[in-house]
Structure formats: C-alpha cells, structure tokens
C-alpha cells in the first residue's frame, strides 16, 4: 500500500485534458534536486523523532483503553451507588471499540482534505477532553459516553501508518512501522498493571488523570514540533503562498487540476469508499467476519480475566493487572515468529508456483491461528472452571495472545496485497468490522457464563470461531479465482 497516496482514496487520478489546459510552469511541486519542505527529505533524526512521538501516543492510547479493565467493576460500583451491573462493566471497556470504529471513517478523510497536522492536533485535544470527562463522570452512562468519544478521537492508530508513509520511502518503512506497532503491546501490558496499582492506592479516577497527563504531554510536543507531512497539504500551502507572493492566480498543485468538488463532498466520498469496497468484494466480507470474531476474543478475555483472578483466585486489582503481561508476552512471541516466517513462506510458495506470487500465500499462518485460537479460548475457560494453578491460566492467556496475532497480522498483509490501490479502503473496512464485533460479542459472555459456567460458556464463544475456521482455508485454496469476481481484487 502506497501511504503517500490519500489514506482512503483508491488512487489520485488526474484529468489529463485539464492538465493540458494548465501550463507546466504553473504547476507547484517539490524540487527534484532537493527540497527542504519535502517530508521524504527531512533529516533522519527529525523523522525518527516523529516516529518516537507516534509510538508514545500509540502507547498512551492503548494505556488509556486497557488501564480501566481490572477496575471496571469498581468504577461501576462507585458510580451506581453500590450496584454492579456486569453488562455495564463490559460495555465500559468495549464501548471504546464502537467509537474507534467510526474514527477511520472521519479522521482519515478529514486528513486528506485539511492535512495531518490540524486533524491530529484536533483529535488529540478531543481525546484529552473526553478522557478528562470520564475522570469527572458521576454516572455510568456518562462514563460510557465519554469512553465512546475517547475511542472516536483516536487519531494515532489511523494516521500513524500514513505519516510514516509520508516521510519514508518503501524500503525504509518496515523498521518505523514495527517500532510504532510495538508500542501498543507495551501499553496493553503496563496499562492494567499500573492502573490496578494506582486504583488500589489512590482511586480509579487517578488512573484516568494519569492518562490525561500522558496525552497532554504528547499533544504539547505534537503542537510544537510536528510539521505537516501530507504531500498534498504541503504543496497546496506552498501554492497559496506563491499565488500571494507572485500575484499569479493560476498557480496550483497537480492534485487540484481535477478539483471541482467541495471539501464536504470529498470527505463524504472518502468516508463511504470502504463500505463500497466491502460490499463489492465477497472475499473481504468473509475475511472481515472471521477477523472480527477472532479479534473480539481479546475483549472477551480482557473483560473476564479480572473477575476470574479476583473472584476465583483471590488476587487484588493490582495483581490482576500484572497478569495481562502474559498476553503481551505471547503476542510479542508471535510477532517475532511472523517476522521470521511470513515472508519466507510467501517466497517458498511463490517459487513453487514458477515465481508468480499471490496474496493467498500470506494465509498459511492465518490457518494455523484459525485452528488454534478457538482451542485456546476454550482452554482459557476450562482452566478457569477447574481452577487449575495460576501459572497454567497465565500460560493459556499467553497462548491466546500468540494465536490471536497469528490470525490478525497476516490477514492485514493479505488485504494489502490483494487490494492493491484499494488497500487502504479494504483495511478500513476490516478495522471497522473488528471494532463493531469487539463491542457486541463480549456482551454475550456474562449470560453464557451465568448459564453454563466458565468452561462451557467461554467454549460456546470459541465455537463460533471454530465454525468460521474453513474461511481462511477456502480463501487460500480458491481465493485466486474468487478474487476475480470483484473489480477491487481482480488481477490486472
């Protein structure tokens, strides 16, 4: 996926007839001999400073999302005057995903029209205000609403890859992207541990105030040192400056030659494009369903583990938070394994097919994850049901993290390979499906556990994933022909 192209656009097509109408000397572009305003040519130290800042914000976002997990029941208990609703405790955590499902549909197109800088800063300010509102909430509905607004305003997850693509050429993006991707794993492990410890000593509101301080420090650096990285926005600003300085009203960028639409129309087109791509590709539909159910197991685990540890194993909220490190450890192991094997498997299968590559060659690890993930989910439930030793439970949690990454990360690579110019829209559709499923499916956990117990109740949820196991197998076997039915994945 070429992140230098508009984040959600298929490709920026220029009307050649209108190009002919505009003199080449009136086209504003970067100087091919070197241009200090070109993000690709910024000093390496500055670019890696931006990558570090994006990583810090990604850490802060994940920390804010997950830090309330081990204390969700405590928050509901206090806000509802001593009454604890399990569904409210779960929704308090998962509602974040509902807000985050809408984020890519709003933040990405806004950044294409107005640039990364104003959208990133605006979203960060909204994130800080929403987190502060959650810290000040006096009722559960207000707290849940504030959490949804916080999820909606997460910009780093949406714009982070695009900003990296704005600054780095293709062969240099891998290390930067890996650095940014590692930060949420750290936030996901430290968030519950730190959140549980702070809540135990100072109260749950101080957990959120810590998140406000982290996000505020990020935003101060963003506002002060971050520069616009989106090529279109940079050139449009330059063209406007040159029109004023030279008095030549014809000066414009190549991106404006076909520009006869209002900003509102452009935002609308970008927002609906992922839905159009999803509706036009049955391959994306079935893989989105499988990926969404698989990803939702993270929230099934994260909303049940504190209760299991505190009620069945007698641990404190702080100790329960520390247990989340095992999930991040398992996830990290899977990332290392895939860094070693994902490309090697692709190359081996390509060589077996006379040097012709295919996106389906990314799926063997997904198939392994598709079989192992439902089994680890069921094992997690039965270990809890039988109250096996705590190290056994933590091992099951770590295996769940490994299996989950086996499904999700190669699936992302498949979508990027299969959809080509439409990859960003395909990824957006995939992410939105995950967020929606992660909001809804965990709500079924408490009724199932209440009726059938931890073992069978959690196994029922794992069974949903097991039923969907044939999807990656069928796509791996028949995907090359299946993809030809869609204009978005049809081979050239």
Q: Is the pLDDT of residue 1 over 60?
A: no
Most confident of 242-246, 254-258, 363-367: 363-367
Q: Is the pLDDT of residue 422 over 80?
A: no
Name the helix (H) or strand (E) containing 28.
strand 27-28
Of 474 and 319, the structure prediction assigns the larger pLDDT to 474
**What letter does residue 10 receive in the DSSP assignment?**
S
pLDDT at 108: 73
State residue 387 phi and psi, 5-degree precision: 50, 50
pTM over 0.85: no
Q: Is the pLDDT of residue 16 over 50?
A: no
153, 126 Cβ separation under 8 angstroms: yes
Rounded CA-CA distance 215/286 in Å is: 37
Q: 415, 442, 443, 439: which is closest to 152 by C-alpha?
A: 439
N- to C-terminal Cα distance for the chain? 16
Rounded CA-CA distance 192/393 in Å is: 17
Q: Give the SS3 label for residue 312.
A: helix
pLDDT at 255: 66
pLDDT at 174: 60
pLDDT at 14: 43
pLDDT at 17: 45
Average pLDDT over the chain, rounded to an integer: 83
For 431-469, write each residue's pLDDT tens digit.
Answer: 888 888 988 888 899 899 999 999 999 999 999 999 999
Most confident of 80-89, 202-211, 342-351: 202-211
pLDDT at 395: 95
Most confident of 122-136, 148-162, 175-189, 244-258: 122-136
Q: Cβ neighbours of residue 26 under 8 Å, at least 6 residues apart?
A: 248, 250, 251, 252
Residue 130 pLDDT level (bands cut at 50, 70, 90): very high
For 90-118, write each residue's pLDDT tens digit.
Answer: 888 888 888 887 777 777 778 877 888 99
Q: Is the pLDDT of residue 4 over 50?
A: no
Q: Cβ neighbours of residue 301 under 8 Å, at least 6 residues apart?
A: 327, 377, 380, 397, 400
For 139-190, write each residue's pLDDT tens digit.
Answer: 888 999 999 899 888 887 778 877 887 888 755 666 677 677 777 777 877 8
pLDDT at 424: 65
Most confident of 183-187, 248-252, 398-402, 479-483: 398-402
44, 171 Cβ separation under 8 angstroms: no
Question: Any idea which of 23-32, 99-108, 301-310, 351-360 has the lowest mean pLDDT?
Answer: 23-32
Residue 81 pLDDT level (bands cut at 50, 70, 90): confident
Q: Is the pLDDT of residue 200 over 90?
A: no
Q: Give the SS3 label for residue 253.
A: strand
Share of the chain above pLDDT 70, in %: 89
Mean pLDDT over 126-146 rounds to 92
pLDDT at 257: 62
Q: Which domains does the chain have, with CATH numbers?
A: 1-8+25-242 (1.20.1250.20), 274-492 (1.20.1250.20)
Token pair 């991040």: residue: 328
Mean pLDDT over 58-83 rounds to 84
Rounded CA-CA distance 301/395 in Å is: 13
pLDDT at 8: 43
pLDDT at 103: 75
State residue 486 phi and psi, 5-degree precision: -115, 135
CA angle at 97 for the pair 91 and 101, rounded to the nearest 5°? 140
Rounded CA-CA distance 324/194 in Å is: 11
Which tokens in the block code for residue 394?
Answer: 């933590």
Q: Is the pLDDT of residue 7 over 50?
A: no
pLDDT at 13: 40
Residue 6 pLDDT level (bands cut at 50, 70, 90): very low
For 479-491, write each residue's pLDDT tens digit.
Answer: 888 888 888 777 7
pLDDT at 492: 57
């Amino acid at each position: 996926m070429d992140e230098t192209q508009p984040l959600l656009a298929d490709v920026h097509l220029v009307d050649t007839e209108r190009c002919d109408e505009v003199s080449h000397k009136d086209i504003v572009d970067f100087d091919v001999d070197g241009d200090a305003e070109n993000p690709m040519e910024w000093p390496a130290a500055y670019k890696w400073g931006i990558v570090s800042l994006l990583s810090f914000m990604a850490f802060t976002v994940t920390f804010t999302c997950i830090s309330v997990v081990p204390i969700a029941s405590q928050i509901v208990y206090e806000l509802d005057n001593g009454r604890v609703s399990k569904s409210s405790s779960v929704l308090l955590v998962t509602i974040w995903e509902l807000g985050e499902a809408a984020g890519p549909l709003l933040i990405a197109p806004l950044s294409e029209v107005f640039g990364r800088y104003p959208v990133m800063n605006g979203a960060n300010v909204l994130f800080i205000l929403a987190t502060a509102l959650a810290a000040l909430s006096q009722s559960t509905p207000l707290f849940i609403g504030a959490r949804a607004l916080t999820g909606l305003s997460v910009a780093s997850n949406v714009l982070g890859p695009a900003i990296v693509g704005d600054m780095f050429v293709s062969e240099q993006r891998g290390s930067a992207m890996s650095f940014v991707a590692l930060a949420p794993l750290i936030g996901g492990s430290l968030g519950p541990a730190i959140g549980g410890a702070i809540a135990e000593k100072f109260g749950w509101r101080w957990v959120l105030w810590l998140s406000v301080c982290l996000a505020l420090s990020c935003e101060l650096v963003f506002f002060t040192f971050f520069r616009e990285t989106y090529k279109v926005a940079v050139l449009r600003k330059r063209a406007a400056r040159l029109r004023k300085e030279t008095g030549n009203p014809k000066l414009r960028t190549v991106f404006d030659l076909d520009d006869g639409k209002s900003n509102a129309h452009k935002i609308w087109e970008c927002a609906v494009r992922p839905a159009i791509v999803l509706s036009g590709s049955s391959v994306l539909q079935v893989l989105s369903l499988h990926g969404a159910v698989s990803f939702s197991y993270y929230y099934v685990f994260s909303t049940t583990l504190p209760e299991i540890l505190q009620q069945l194993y007698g641990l404190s909220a702080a100790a329960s938070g520390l247990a989340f490190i095992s999930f991040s450890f398992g996830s990290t192991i899977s990332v290392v394994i895939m860094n070693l094997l994902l490309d090697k498997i692709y190359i081996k299968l390509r060589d077996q097919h006379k040097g012709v590559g295919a996106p389906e060659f990314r799926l063997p690890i997904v198939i392994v994850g598709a079989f192992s993930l439902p089994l680890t989910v069921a094992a997690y439930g039965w270990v809890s049901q039988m109250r096996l030793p705590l190290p056994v439970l933590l091992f099951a949690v770590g295996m769940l993290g490994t299996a989950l990454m086996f499904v999700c990360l190669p699936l992302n690579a498949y979508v990027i390979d299969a959809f080509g110019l439409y990859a960003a829209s395909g990824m957006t559709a995939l992410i939105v499906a995950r967020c929606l499923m992660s909001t809804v499916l965990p709500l079924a956990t408490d009724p199932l556990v209440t009726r059938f117990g931890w073992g069978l109740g959690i196994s029922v949820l794992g069974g949903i994933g097991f039923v969907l196991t044939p999807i990656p197998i069928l796509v791996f076997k028949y995907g090359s022909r299946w993809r030809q039915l869609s204009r978005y994945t049809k081979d050239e």
